[in-house]
């Protein structure tokens, strides 16, 4: 299993879950961040490099049955879409590909966002792009390419995140705005759990589940028994 963006908070949870499940793990992260993977020394293979570097990705995903990608829209040079494209092009045919992103990504335009969410996304997106540190539109483009690909993909759309102990596998729905997602809060450790479990869940192939913590009030009220 390859974890792309392994040194971040979500990435390290992905590596931990993967190792616990007995996967052989390859992690990709920026050269300067390799030290953040010290806890896994001797247990994973680290391929240092930018995640949109096609040669780095080709080397890292070679022979992997699954690739988990933390999609982040840093900078204004198409980092997210470059990363996604490299994974789509180089993962072996038939590999399970699981990508992370936020609720703001919509697969079919059927998501219903609160006014507050829309205003926050618009203002943050514009300011971040002006400051040239994040390009949210590029994460949208990255996901568009994934949705259109004929690979075995899943795009896991995260709610607001928090740290803390695991509460178990998050619940999911196809559309933001569905009552079960109202709690809008997921533990990072459980976001990672969902992504790793998705690898073996064929029911999630070609799905873009929006997830929420299983102990949020909305999940408790609306989850199927």
Ligand X SMILES: NC(=O)c1ccc[n+]([C@@H]2O[C@H](COP(=O)([O-])OP(=O)(O)OC[C@H]3O[C@@H](n4cnc5c(N)ncnc54)[C@H](OP(=O)(O)O)[C@@H]3O)[C@@H](O)[C@H]2O)c1
Give the nearest distance from C-beta 184 to ligand X in angstroms.
Answer: 10
Q: Helix or strand or coil: residue 105?
A: coil
Q: Please state, in angstroms and rounded to a whole number, the distance separating the CA atoms of residues 221 and 147.
A: 31
Q: Please state, in angstroms and rounded to a whole number, the distance separating the CA atoms of residues 114 and 124.
A: 15
| Stretch binding ligand X (CB under 6 A), from 59-67, 72-80, 115-123, 208-216 | 72-80
Among 1, 18, 29, 199, indicate the residue that binds ligand X (CB under 6 A): 29
Among 1, 2, 3, 7, indicate the residue that binds ligand X (CB under 6 A): 7
- Residues 95-124: x where in contact with ligand X by CB under 6 A, - otherwise, as a string: -----xxx----------------------
- Other Cβ atoms within 10 Å of 221 Cβ, number: 11
CA 45 to the chain's CA centroid? 20
Say if CB 148 and CB 84 are below 8 A apart. Answer: no
Say if CB 207 and CB 29 are below 8 A apart. Answer: no
Please give the residue whose beta carbon sits closest to ligand X in the complex: 8
36 binds ligand X (CB under 6 A): yes
Among 70, 142, 181, 212, indicate the residue that binds ligand X (CB under 6 A): 70
| Stretch binding ligand X (CB under 6 A), from 9-17, 57-65, 112-120, 142-150 | 9-17
The interface with ligand X within residues 147-186 (CB under 6 A) comprises 158, 160-161
206 secondary structure, DSSP code: T
Helix locations, 2-44, DSSP H: 9-20
39 binds ligand X (CB under 6 A): no
Distances (CA, A) of 70 to 12, 146, 154, 167, 223: 11, 13, 12, 21, 27
129 binds ligand X (CB under 6 A): no
Q: Which is nearer to ligand X, 22 or 139 (CB)?
A: 139
Q: Which residues bind ligand X (CB under 6 A)?
A: 5, 7-11, 29-30, 33, 36, 70-72, 74, 79, 100-102, 158, 160-161, 188
């Amino acid at each position: 299993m390859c974890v792309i963006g392994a040194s971040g908070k979500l990435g390290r949870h992905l590596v931990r879950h993967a190792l616990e499940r007995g996967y052989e793990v390859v992690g990709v992260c920026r050269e300067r961040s390799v030290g953040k993977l010290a806890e896994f020394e001797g247990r994973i293979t680290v391929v240092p490099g930018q995640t949109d570097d096609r040669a780095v990705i080709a080397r890292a995903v070679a022979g992997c049955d699954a690739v988990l990608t933390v999609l982040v829209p840093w900078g204004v040079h198409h980092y997210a879409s470059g990363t996604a494209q490299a994974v789509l092009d180089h993962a072996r045919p038939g590999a399970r590909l699981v990508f992370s992103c936020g609720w703001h990504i919509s697969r079919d335009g059927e998501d219903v966002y609160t006014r507050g969410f829309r205003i926050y996304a618009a203002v943050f997106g514009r300011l971040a792009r002006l400051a040239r540190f994040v390009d949210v539109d590029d994460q949208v483009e990255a996901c568009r390419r994934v949705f259109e690909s004929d690979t075995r993909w899943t795009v896991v759309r995260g709610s607001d995140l928090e740290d803390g102990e695991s509460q178990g596998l998050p619940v999911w729905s196809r559309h933001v705005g569905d009552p079960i997602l109202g709690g809008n809060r997921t533990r990072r450790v459980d976001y990672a759990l969902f992504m790793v479990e998705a690898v073996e869940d064929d029911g999630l192939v070609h799905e873009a589940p929006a997830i929420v913590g299983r102990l949020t009030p909305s999940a408790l009220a609306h989850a199927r028994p």
